[in-house]
């Protein structure tokens, strides 16, 4: 309960007010009127002092929500919309008053509430015996439940005693925990299931009628009427119920007769009780009533509505005279000292643009200097007669259509630079010298000016965000900077932001338009993607020392979205190799670099891909997800991939959550804060939210241990601990007590070596070795001291700890060493980074060398490590070669990010994997650390005799086909009448080239966030996150053609923001194993079935399969896809036809006409469309038929008019 006393703050007359409500997301107060008008008002912030003007409620927006005869019965406010309830309609508007949708599904509605389980569902009740659920995103009807009573209603003062079919109107509906509470006028309160809206419990609250009902937490409170001598009278008791225990609690006595009850928004047990005459009591339901909990509200007549601010520090009430009163918890003297907070999460209120004031002064019409343009024009709703199309009175040759092109500022700034280049090329033969004698005009203060008339570069024919600079002929540093980067030393006047930048490629749709335009003009121009190839050729001989700053290909890359979505982004611009990159804009995408390292580590790849061939019952097995990802990258062959399924399993892993491995920074999708130049490596590394090198090393530890556990649970691999065979090194940790000299030893296993750097030597000490081999040897055989009690003498002394090779596994020469030596650089300070940075002196060797040699000495259990620079390599040692690295990249104006450098095993050399940017680099660039922007994190060394050291030939390689022969189901309530598929028999197992038809439906886990600019362009800030909800696969040939053999709904444990029922046909409860009537399987089971079909070589037939396979996160080779979207497509028309339109025009069948999609019906339709195409293609009449389809589709407006009117759908279906 608030400790500060409540005091009146202000009173404002607002006219007709029937209901009020505080905005929980902004400092606004919303009011509804009896004529259907909704008005919002700015709440005073208390900064203006104690004057009355600063305390008034000023209007923000006002709009008509319902007809004049319909009052606004209730207001609800979400984060993005304001919902108002009328007598027979619900309207959703933005806070600016712009309408979003209008629904008339409700009749004689009385109350509404958000669903207790899904905030995107709105439940409406009223006088009719029905409950209605609509979608808050678009107003579509989700379900309508008939709640006509099957038994006579108990007799009350307001029930129809002589009408057995009487239905008491539901006047109040509220959400309570996992239930929906409905309060009827008869006084009966029912608790209903939010998914089915069926009645679970009921209780009689007031025998003569219900007036108010509120819920909060586990509490439900009511006030109403009771019977006295057969007449209804107001009950002085506030009834309290415990919803969780389903029992009444002691009622609360309010002698002044309760009229309004409200819960405190921040304290669930604190209740506000007010009478119609203004008596207010604030009390705690659990604790005793304090003495100072009664207040008298200022009221000229009687109170009609009351609401509490989201912070709990203010309340508002309106009386019958339409005067709104504000009360606050602070005293009047305390309020002006700081801004008042009315809402807990304040959003900035969008204000309208300032309009210039019209000059309403009187004019002297006799004067000649008064322009008529100063006279304002009145507002008009219809087009004026003077509005004539310009084509009627202006010729095409007029400057109105042929505007004079303006010279762009960047071209003018290039004049000075271009004159210098011409002089350098013809006179000095050097681009780095400057001469003041190029066309001099005058010189002042030692500064030479040049002639203003000169040649400019040809006007560019590209988009606004694409830039190109002239080529420079200067020997080795000659490059056509198509990719938007300036070579150091050239163009010193350019800003740093315009250098080292990757250019942005054209969208695929734009490239198609450019290509068609070029074909029409008869010219052949290079594609924009050729620029990066040309630059790679011209800059092939450069090393990192040739660049002043970080090369642009190390910069952070980001996906751009067009109106066609991510499918329109040209990933090929960033990758011209045969190795696939990984996309960003996925939760925990910081793991991309580490996943690339694991994929190119062949033993791990073989282990993961072998693991998925066996039966694994774990629903979130990380080794399975790695196997599926690696298999997809094998098939992609350079096409970009995404780690959606791996990220989902990673995000719900309890061990990963406990280790705080979730990258919440990337969950906000690159909403960066600018870095200041003063921030150093030390400050960046000490901040766990900024140091990705520390985070990826911890993630590496987690993945190795998780893979170890997952592999041990699978006995079919034939190896007890395959991960330990690859990474583990056996050690013996010896402990010696300095007091009693007691020694003990215990065996340990380590999969990763943490590098320990030497401390700075004192003045009387010789400097420690600073080369990699010396540091690695001390890190492997580590000696430390720690204070602990001795097990022998019990003294608490500094025990000496020493880690040496286990003598049982350490044999002279090669044995006991791992196949993959994994190192964690552990760079956390500038001093540690100095070990890695390349020396500026000539003839000095780098810290990191491509090969090292390690030998063990059995007699002393010691290590000998050398790389010949400067420590000599042991001749009998095991040779290791550096094969991959994970680096943290820190640019001056970007947030840190991770990249991978991999020496590909097939002999292609070193490659950079910067998310979806993949580029071949030289070994010199890979091993060099020229500046602090390149920080090491994880390093992998592999044995050069890896083929002899490891033998994984016993690992299984063929996937078990029995999963296609089983009817797997995890639903506890599967309805046998809804089983529509027939599982394959042994003889029906598909072979290579077998035809199958497929369709999938999806639900939304996260809504798309979009910004709209003033010019109408659409900017995607956060893409929507979808997940597979249903997949259906049909036989495409044979006797049972068109019969589904897979029709699985996908079990989903993540919260679903939108079921997209109108597009997917999925309803709440369909994906829950406790309530689903369908065949329900885990996502991994459905994915494994599709993975098996792809590996068997099946050809998939469907409509819009590229998007389906992308969301499913599986790569299907193009040779195995027959997409009817592409079959029924004329490129010159630039329009793809929907499945419903094709079915209507070609098959004469209207599908999806019930407002939902059926994946079996859609897959069967795509199969019939393919058969029709194949028939006409063989007969030779396909082109004419397709032209006719486009002609008919255009006449229909590319839409099929539904036979039964339904709510318009937002978005596009298949």
**CA distance linking residue 841 with residue 985, whole number of Å:** 73
- List 239's β-bridge partners, or say none: 222
d(CA 347, CA 352): 16
Contacts of 1129 (CB under 8 A, 6+ apart): 1136, 1137
Q: Specify the residue for token string 């309830």.
A: 85
The encoded tokens of residue 347 equal 């959003």
For residue 870, is the peptide bond before it cis, meaning its omega torsion is within 30 degrees of 0? yes
Which residue in 460, 453, 470, 473 sits closest to 414, CA to CA? Answer: 470
SS3 39: strand
Q: Where are the strands (E) in 1114-1200, listed by range?
A: 1121-1123
139 Cβ neighbours under 8 A, 6+ residues apart: 90, 92, 100, 101, 102, 103, 1207
Please state the length of the chain.
1214
Question: How many other CB atoms are there within 10 angstroms of residue 232's CB atom?
Answer: 18
Q: How do 237-242 and 219-228 pair as beta strands?
A: antiparallel
Distance CA 614, CA 372 (A): 85
Chain Cα centroid distance, residue 1149: 38
To the question of whether residue 999 is assigned a binding role by annotation, the answer is: yes
- Is the CB of residue 723 less than 8 Å from the CB of residue 751? yes
DSSP 843-872: TPPPSS-SEEEEEEETTTTEEEEE-SSSSP
**CA-to-CA distance for 1078 and 976, rounded, in angstroms?**
8
- Decide: 350 and 96 in contact? Cβ < 8 Å: yes
Q: At what angle do helices 622-636 and 1083-1095 cross, to 10 degrees?
A: 30
Helix (H, G, I), strand (E, B) or coil at 623: helix
* Beta bridge pairs of residue 898: 888
How many CB atoms lie under 10 A from the CB of residue 577? 16
- Comparing C-alpha atoms, which of 1102, 30, 45, 1096 is closest to residue 613? 1096
Total Cβ atoms within 10 A of residue 419:
16
CA nearest neighbour of 787 among 798, 779, 795: 798
Q: Tell me how far apart the alpha carbons of residues 83 and 964 are, in angstroms, rounded to a whole number.
A: 48
1162 is in an annotated binding site: yes
Cα–Cα distance for residue pair 1185/585, rounded to 1 Å: 42
Read off the DSSP letter of residue 425: I
Measured between alpha carbons, how far is 499 from 487 in angstroms, rounded to an integer?
8
Q: Are 850 and 824 in contact (CB under 8 A)?
A: no
To which residue do tokens 């996925």 refer? 586
Question: Who's near 453: CB < 8 A, 6+ residues apart?
Answer: none
Q: Collapse the DSSP code of 28 into the 3-class scheme (helix H, G, I; strand E, B; otherwise coil) and give the result.
A: strand
Do residues 570 and 466 touch, judged by C-beta distance below 8 A? Answer: no
Is residue 1212 exposed (0-12), middle (13-18) or buried (19+ Cβ within 10 Å)?
A: exposed
- ∠ CA 297-298-300, rounded to 5°: 130
Backbone angles phi, psi at 202, to 5 degrees: -150, 155
Instruction: Retrieve residue 537's tokens.
Output: 């050729």
Binding-site residues: 999, 1001, 1108, 1162
Binding-site residues for a divalent metal cation: 999, 1001, 1108, 1162
């Amino acid at each position: 309960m608030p400790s500060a006393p409540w005091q009146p703050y202000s009173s404002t007359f607002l006219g007709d007010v029937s209901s009020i409500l505080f905005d929980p997301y902004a400092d606004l107060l919303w009011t509804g009127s009896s004529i259907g008008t909704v008005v919002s008002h700015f709440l005073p912030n208390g900064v203006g002092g104690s004057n009355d003007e600063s305390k008034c409620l000023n209007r923000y927006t006002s709009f008509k929500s319902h007809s004049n005869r319909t009052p606004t019965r209730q207001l609800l406010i979400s984060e993005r919309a304001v919902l108002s309830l009328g007598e027979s309609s619900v309207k959703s508007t933005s806070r600016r008053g712009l309408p979003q949708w209008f629904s008339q599904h409700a009749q004689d509605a009385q109350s509404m509430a958000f669903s207790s389980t899904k905030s995107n569902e709105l439940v409406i009740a009223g006088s009719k015996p029905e409950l209605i659920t609509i979608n808050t995103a678009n107003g579509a009807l989700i379900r309508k439940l008939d709640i006509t009573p099957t038994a006579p209603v108990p007799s009350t003062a307001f029930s129809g005693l002589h009408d057995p079919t009487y239905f008491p109107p539901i006047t109040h509906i509220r959400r309570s925990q996992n239930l929906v509470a409905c309060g009827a006028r008869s006084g009966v309160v029912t608790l209903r299931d939010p998914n089915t809206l069926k009645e679970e419990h009921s209780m009689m609250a007031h025998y003569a009628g219900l007036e108010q009902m509120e819920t909060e937490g586990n509490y439900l409170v009511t006030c109403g009427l009771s019977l006295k001598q057969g007449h209804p009278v107001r009950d002085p008791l506030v009834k309290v119920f415990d919803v969780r225990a389903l029992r009444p609690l002691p009622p609360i006595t309010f002698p002044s007769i309760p009229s309004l009850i409200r819960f405190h928004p921040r304290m669930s047990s604190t209740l506000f009780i007010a009478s119609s005459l203004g008596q207010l009591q604030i009390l705690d339901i659990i604790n005793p009533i304090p003495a100072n909990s009664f207040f008298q509200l200022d009221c000229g007549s009687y109170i009609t509505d009351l609401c509490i601010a989201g912070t709990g520090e203010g309340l508002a009430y309106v009386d019958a005279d339409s005067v709104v009163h504000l009360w606050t918890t602070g005293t009047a003297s305390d309020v002006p000292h700081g801004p008042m907070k009315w809402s807990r999460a304040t959003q900035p209120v969008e204000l309208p643009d300032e309009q210039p004031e019209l000059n309403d002064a009187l004019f002297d019409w006799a004067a000649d200097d008064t322009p008529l343009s100063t006279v304002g024009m009145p507002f008009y709703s219809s087009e004026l007669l003077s509005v004539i199309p310009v084509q009627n009175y202006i010729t095409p040759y007029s400057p109105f259509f042929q505007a004079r092109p303006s010279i762009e500022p960047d071209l003018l700034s290039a004049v000075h630079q271009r004159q210098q280049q011409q002089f350098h090329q013809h006179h000095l033969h050097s681009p780095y010298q400057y001469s003041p004698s190029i066309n001099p005009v005058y010189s002042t203060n030692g500064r030479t000016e040049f002639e203003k008339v000169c040649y400019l570069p040809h006007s560019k024919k590209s988009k606004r965000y694409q830039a190109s600079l002239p080529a420079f002929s200067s020997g080795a540093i000659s490059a056509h900077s198509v990719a938007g980067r300036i070579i150091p030393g050239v163009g010193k006047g350019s800003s740093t932001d315009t250098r080292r930048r990757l250019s942005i490629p054209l969208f695929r749709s734009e490239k198609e338009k450019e290509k068609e335009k070029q074909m029409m003009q008869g010219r052949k121009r290079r594609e924009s993607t050729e620029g990066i190839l040309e630059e790679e050729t011209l800059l092939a001989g450069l090393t990192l020392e040739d660049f002043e700053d970080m090369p642009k290909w190390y910069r952070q890359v980001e996906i751009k979205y067009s109106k066609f979505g991510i499918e329109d982004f040209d990933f090929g611009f960033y990758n011209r190799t045969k190795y696939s990159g990984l996309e960003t804009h996925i939760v925990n995408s910081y793991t991309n670099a580490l996943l690339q390292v694991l994929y190119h580590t062949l033993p791990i790849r073989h282990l993961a891909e072998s693991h998925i061939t066996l039966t694994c019952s774990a629903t979130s097995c990380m080794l399975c997800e790695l196997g599926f990802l690696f298999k997809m990258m094998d098939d992609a062959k350079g096409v970009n991939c995404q780690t959606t399924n791996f990220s989902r399993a990673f995000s719900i892993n309890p061990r990963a959550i406990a280790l705080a491995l979730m990258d919440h920074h990337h969950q906000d999708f690159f909403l960066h804060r600018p870095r200041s130049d003063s921030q150093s490596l030390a400050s960046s590394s000490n901040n766990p939210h900024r140091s990705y090198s520390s985070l990826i090393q911890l993630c590496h530890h987690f993945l190795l241990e998780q893979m170890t556990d997952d592999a041990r649970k699978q006995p079919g691999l034939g190896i007890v601990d395959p991960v330990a065979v690859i990474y583990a090194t056996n050690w013996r940790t010896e402990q010696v007590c300095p007091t009693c000299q007691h020694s003990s030893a215990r065996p340990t296993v380590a999969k990763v070596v943490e590098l320990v750097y030497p401390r700075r030597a004192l003045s009387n000490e010789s400097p420690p070795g600073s080369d990699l081999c010396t540091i690695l040897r001390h890190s492997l055989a580590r000696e430390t001291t720690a204070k602990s009690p001795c097990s022998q003498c019990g003294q608490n002394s500094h025990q000496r700890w020493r880690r040496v090779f286990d003598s049982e596994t350490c044999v002279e020469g090669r044995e006991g060493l791992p196949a993959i030596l994994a190192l964690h650089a552990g760079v956390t300070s500038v001093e540690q980074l100095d070990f890695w940075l390349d020396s500026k002196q000539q003839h000095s060797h780098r810290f990191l060398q491509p090969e090292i040699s390690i030998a063990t000495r059995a007699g002393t259990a010691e290590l000998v490590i050398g790389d010949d620079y400067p420590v000599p390599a042991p001749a009998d040692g095991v040779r290791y070669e550096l094969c991959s690295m994970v680096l943290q990249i820190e640019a001056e104006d970007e947030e840190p990010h991770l990249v991978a450098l991999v020496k590909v095993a097939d002999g292609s050399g070193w490659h950079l994997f910067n998310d979806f940017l993949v580029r071949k680099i030289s070994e010199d660039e890979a091993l060099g650390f020229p500046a602090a922007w390149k920080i090491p994190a994880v390093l992998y060394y592999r044995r050069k005799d890896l083929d002899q050291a490891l033998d994984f030939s016993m690992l299984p390689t063929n996937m078990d086909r029995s999963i296609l022969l089983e009817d797997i189901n995890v639903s506890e309530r599967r309805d046998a009448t809804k089983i529509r598929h027939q599982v394959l028999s042994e003889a029906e197992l598909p072979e290579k080239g077998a035809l199958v038809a497929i369709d999938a439906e999806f639900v939304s886990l996260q809504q798309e966030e979009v910004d709209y600019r003033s010019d109408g362009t659409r900017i995607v800030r956060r893409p929507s996150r979808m997940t597979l909800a249903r997949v259906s696969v049909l036989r495409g040939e044979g006797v049972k053609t068109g019969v589904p053999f897979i029709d699985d709904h996908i079990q989903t444990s993540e919260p679903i923001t939108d079921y997209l029922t109108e597009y997917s046909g999925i309803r709440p409860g369909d994906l829950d194993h406790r309530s689903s009537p369908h065949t329900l399987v885990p996502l991994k089971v459905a994915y494994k079935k599709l993975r098996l079909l792809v590996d068997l070589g099946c050809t998939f037939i469907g409509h819009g399969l590229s998007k389906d396979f992308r969301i499913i996160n599986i790569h299907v080779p193009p040779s195995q896809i027959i997409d009817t979207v592409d079959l029924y497509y004329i490129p010159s028309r630039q329009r793809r036809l929907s499945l419903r339109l094709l079915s209507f025009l070609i098959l004469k069948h209207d599908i999806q006409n019930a407002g939902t999609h059926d994946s079996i019906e859609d897959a069967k339709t795509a199969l019939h469309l393919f058969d029709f195409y194949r028939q006409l293609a063989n007969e030779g009449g396909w082109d004419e038929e397709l032209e006719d389809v486009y002609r008919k589709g255009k006449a229909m407006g590319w839409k099929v008019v539904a036979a039964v009117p339904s709510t318009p759908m937002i978005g596009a279906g298949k």
